Amino acid sequence: MKAENATATVLVTGANKGIGHEVARRLVEAGHSVWVGARDAERGREAAAKLGQNARFVQLDVTDDASIREAAQTVGKAGGLDVLVNNAGIVQPDAPNDPRGPLRAVFDVNVFGAIAVTYAFLPLLRKSGAPRIVNVSSDLGSLTRATDPDYEFYNLELVAYPASKAALNMATVQLAKHLAGTPFKVNAANPGYTATDLNSHRGYQTVEQAAEVIVRLATLGPDGPTGGFFFNEGEVPW
């Protein structure tokens, strides 16, 4: 982070539960200082308290520009930021009779929110010696897999969520190119089909398994990749 193997200051959005909370826990356990970003103040404070003294709550609604600005000010006044994990995300069923509704809601969090948070915190990240940005995506956003008849979710009939993750993947690539030649490492992570509230706990992976790739990308050394899409076993095809 600031130097290889040094401790870092990390912000994880949507960290009051699920994969985000496990990522925060793992990073705290490794000795890093973690901001637990959450929209709900009560749940966010409870989640941070469970993680110990190296975790702090910051109220952050990724769909609210004022909330994002205030969070950036709070983190900046406290000393800066080395790592941003854009984990906050939602899923909604498509609505053929109102297609714009689910698309707006899902993209507002999964794409526009992640991009808005990233731009708001870029000035702080630029001051770090080893800034890292991890966008939590999904293999449902892989065009290669979506068009493969052998892919396990090939027959999934859902537009908004996969499209939002495909858009987030493109944002990751473009941001990585924009920051090429700097110490930044910008990558997308595929945690896999994980049992969380997002899918009513139907996923077959645990949050512990899902957090592995995110933590790894958040703590990359100077020779680590940038502009890639990864899961625990390696790279995910775009």
Q: Which residues are catalytic?
A: 161, 165
Which residue carries 């052998």 as its tokens? 150
What does the alpha-carbon distance between residue 156 and residue 159 come to, in Å, rounded to a whole number? 9
- The Cα–Cα gap between 131 and 100 comes to 36
